Amino acid sequence: MRTLPGRTLLLLLLFPVTALADIAVRVPVVTQVQGAALFRTSLTVANGSGGHSADIVLRLSYRSLVDGTFQNVTLSEGSLLPHRTLFFEDIVQHFKDEGSIRSQDRTANLFGTLLVTFVASGQQLEDSIAEARTYSAANGGGTNGIAYIGRNASTAGSDTIKGAVRNGAFGADGTTRANIGFVNEGTVVTDVEITYYDGATGATLKDFVQSSLSVGEVVQLNNIFADSAVPPGTRSIVVRAQAVAGNGRISGYGVQLDSVTQDGSFFLMVEENQCGGGYVPPG
For 214-232, the pLDDT digits (tens) are 999 999 999 999 999 999 9
Which are the contacts of 26, defined by CB distance < 8 A and separation ≥ 6?
113, 114, 115, 116, 150, 151, 153, 156, 183, 185, 216
- Beta strands of 138-275 (E only): which ranges? 143-149, 151-152, 160-166, 168-169, 175-184, 190-198, 204-213, 218-221, 236-243, 250-258, 264-268, 270-271
| pLDDT tens-digit readout, 163-216 | 999 998 777 777 889 999 999 999 999 999 999 999 999 999 999 999 999 999
- CA distance linking residue 230 with residue 197, whole number of Å: 9
For the residues 269-273, what does the mean pLDDT come to? 89
Give the mean pLDDT of the chain: 89
pLDDT of 14 reads 45
- CA distance linking residue 15 with residue 231, whole number of Å: 57
| pLDDT tens-digit readout, 58-93 | 999 999 999 999 999 999 999 999 999 999 999 999
Residues 243 and 250: beta-carbon distance below 8 Å: yes
Q: Which CATH class is domain 157-275?
A: mainly beta
Per-domain residue ranges of the chain: 15-154, 157-275
> What pTM was estimated for this model as a whole?
0.87
Selection from 218, 263, 266, 267 nearest residue 37 by Cα: 263
- CA distance linking residue 178 with residue 200, whole number of Å: 17
Helix (H) or strand (E) holding 110, with range, is strand 110-119
- CA distance linking residue 64 with residue 73, whole number of Å: 12
Phi, psi of 190 (to 5 degrees): -145, 145
pLDDT of 272 reads 85
Q: Does residue 16 register a pLDDT over 50?
A: no
